Chains A and B, each alone.
Chain A
């Protein structure tokens, strides 16, 4: 750093008397010899003087009254806030954070993802389900006694959603039948009386099984196409035999036909589950279609569909082995 640059860097503090004696004498000595640095010092002093001579701007005459008014209004707000949080010893930033967190929690508790009307226990459905369950138990019990199998049980919680955010549930009980003419995985399961399906070859059906759980409506259409292919392959005179898993495709096709789509599908022990989204007005049509299947179907109360454009439906295909 040249002497002039070094001196100029310290001129500001020099003119305020904020440099030590040794540095001050060195700067003074330099200033005596350097007119440019003297000019620089004069400029800085002029700036400082200009700021110092700025006349003070006066506050409003009623400053204190304004302050009292503002303190009164802010004090009220503060007291309200303190009453909420001071007992817990929470500081101000945390107060805000906790208030926001509480708000978010309340929002997610009372406004679930899919808003549904409040679910009241429809007594008619409960009664119906119980009757069905009892009838099913007695029938299956008899069958079970014959075949050694156990009867599927249906309870209120299986049919009516427990919470508003849960999908409506449709249960399809697959009647257990002795295989007629089929071997291995083949079994006479269901018959769509309106559009009977034909038996399919194991290889073709295996390929179809890999496409389980179509993600959208187009995938549902694939199921329909596959069935058309199956028809061509099997011929009109074949027995109405489908593989057990074929019902899943049939259900998906019905969902697509009524204007819905299959969102997801997965398998549990002794049951397959399809998660679907259907227009609420299609629930009745879907019920009719499912009744055409050779399975016992349990539908939720139609009242649950009121006031909603679309329904999220969980179709459970329960098979008793």
Chain B
């Protein structure tokens, strides 16, 4: 989660963009694209989809940034766009058909938490690395078993570290809903990962 200093920097860049500095938007993209891409990837489990949705998020942000009124922080606003874009994508029938197939190719791939179990030279990874990757895959699969609403809340809290208030702002619900969804999502994950975590 961005701190106060980060928020002030974002605000300055947004104001610069609103005054006509197009370069300020590129600076905002560079500051946030990693987090947004990661969130999209964890929401969808596919690097190509994540790349597409992260770009879609920034395009929407670009189109709406002139009207940004600083009622929420820029990062919260960006998360809201990204979460909504992911939810919309997940509703597509075509996506549902491919949902359970994790991408094993693509430029970003699963990175360190991914599915590729080989080094670039073709040699197998050390045992610890293989175990870590398998563990990451299990967690990702457990996340993908959640509904889009539960997925968003638990990722925003446990992965991105957002406060309950910020999550409520992102998903457009009250605090009670955030608490109940988070509790339910953690319960489900606990059941799915029982053998691995304990």
Picked from A47, A64, A78, the residue with its CB within 8 Å of the CB of B189 is A47
B184 to chain A, nearest CB (A): 9
Does B186 contact A59, Cβ atoms closer than 8 Å? no
CB 8 Å contact bits of B136-160 with A (1 = contact, 0 = none) = 1001100100000000001101110
Residues of the B chain whose Cβ atoms lie less than 8 Å from the Cβ of A135: none
Q: Which residues of A contact B198 (CB under 8 A)?
A: 43, 46
> B42 near A: Cβ within 8 Å?
yes
Convert B88-118 into 0s and 1s, putting 1 for each residue whose CB lies closer than 8 angstroms to a CB of A: 0000000000000000000110111110000
How far apart sit A300 and B94, CA to CA, in the bound complex (Å)? 56
Task: Tell me whether B37 and A47 are in contact (CB under 8 A).
Answer: no
Cross-chain contact A51 with B112 (CB below 8 angstroms): no
Interface size on B, residues (CB 8 A): 48
Taking a contact as CB atoms under 8 Å apart, the answer to whether B51 and A74 are in contact is: no
Looking at the assembled complex, report how far the CB atom of B161 sits from the nearest CB atom of chain A, in whole angstroms. 8
Which single residue of chain B is at the shortest CB-CB distance from A56? Answer: B38
Cβ of A56 and Cβ of B158 under 8 Å apart?
Answer: no
Q: How far is the CA of A318 from the CA of B113 in the complex (A)?
A: 88
Q: In terms of DSSP, what is the predominant structure of the interface of chain B?
A: helix
Instruction: Determine if A51 and B139 form an interchain contact, defined as CB atoms under 8 angstroms apart.
Output: yes
Asked whether any CB of chain B lies closer than 8 Å to the CB of A210, the reply is: no
**CB atoms of B54 and A59 under 8 A apart:** yes
Given the complex, which residues of B lie within 8 Å of A56, measured CB to CB?
A: 34-35, 38, 111
Q: Which B residues are CB-close (under 8 A) to A59? A: 33-34, 37, 50-51, 54, 108
Name the B residues within 8 Å of A9 (CB-CB): 183
B190 at interface, CB cutoff 8 A: yes
* Among B8-16, B55-63, B72-80, B119-127, the stretch in contact with A: B55-63
Q: Which of A54, A66, A78 has the most CB of B within 10 A?
A: A54
* A60 adjacent to B51 (CB under 8 Å): yes
A274 to B160 CA separation, bound complex (whole angstroms):
77
Residues of B near A61 (CB, < 8 A) are 107
A52 touches B179 (CB 8 A): no
A105 at the B interface (CB under 8 A): no
Interface presence of A18 (CB below 8 A): yes
Q: Give Cα A64–Cα B34 distance, bound, in whole angstroms.
A: 11
Q: Does B41 contact A (CB under 8 A)?
A: yes
**Are A57's CB and B47's CB within 8 A?**
yes
- Bound Cα distance A1, B48 (Å): 46
Q: Which residues of A contact B190 (CB under 8 A)?
A: 43-44, 46-47
The residue of chain B having its C-beta at the shortest distance from the C-beta of A54 within the complex is B113
B193–A66 touching, CB < 8 Å? no
Residue of B nearest to A51 (CB): B158
Which residues of A sit under 8 angstroms from B111, Cβ to Cβ?
55-58
Partner of A58, one of B37, B143, B197: B37
Q: Contact check, A12 vs B158: say whether CB atoms are below 8 A apart.
A: no
Interface size class of A (residues with CB under 8 A): 20 to 34
In chain B, what residue has the closest Cβ to A18?
B164
**Is A5 close to B, CB under 8 A?**
no
- The 8 A CB mask of A9-38 against B (1 = contact, 0 = none) is 111110010100000000000000000000
The answer on a CB contact under 8 Å between A47 and B193 is yes
Scan residues 38-91 of chain A and give those whose CB is less than 8 A from a CB of chain B: 43-44, 46-48, 50-52, 54-61, 63-64, 66-67, 70-71, 74, 78
- Digitize B154-180: 1 where CB-to-A-CB distance is under 8 Å, 0 elsewhere: 110111010010000000000000010
Chain B residues whose CB sits within 8 angstroms of the CB of A47 once the complex forms: 158, 186, 189-190, 193, 197
Residues 186-197 of B, flagged 1 when their CB comes within 8 A of A and 0 if not, give 110110011001
Min CB distance, A68 to chain B, in Å? Answer: 8
Query: What's the minimum C-beta distance from A184 to chain B, rounded to whole angstroms?
Result: 73
Q: Are A12 and B183 in contact (CB under 8 A)?
A: yes
Q: Which residue of B lies closest to A19 (CB)?
A: B179
Asked if A57 and B197 sit within 8 Å, CB to CB, the answer is no
B182 within 8 A of A: yes
Partner of B55, one of A50, A57, A66: A66
A-B contact pairs, 16 of them (CB 8 A): A10-B183, A11-B183, A13-B164, A44-B186, A46-B193, A46-B198, A47-B190, A50-B193, A51-B139, A52-B159, A54-B136, A56-B111, A57-B37, A57-B42, A57-B110, A67-B59
Interface residues of B, Cβ cutoff 8 Å to A: 26, 29-30, 33-35, 37-38, 41-42, 47, 50-51, 54-55, 58-59, 62-63, 107-108, 110-114, 136, 139-140, 143, 154-155, 157-159, 161, 164, 179, 182-183, 186-187, 189-190, 193-194, 197-198
- In addition to A13-B179, A63-B51, 10 A-B residue pairs with Cβ atoms within 8 Å of each other are A12-B179, A16-B164, A18-B179, A43-B197, A47-B158, A47-B186, A48-B158, A55-B112, A56-B38, A59-B33
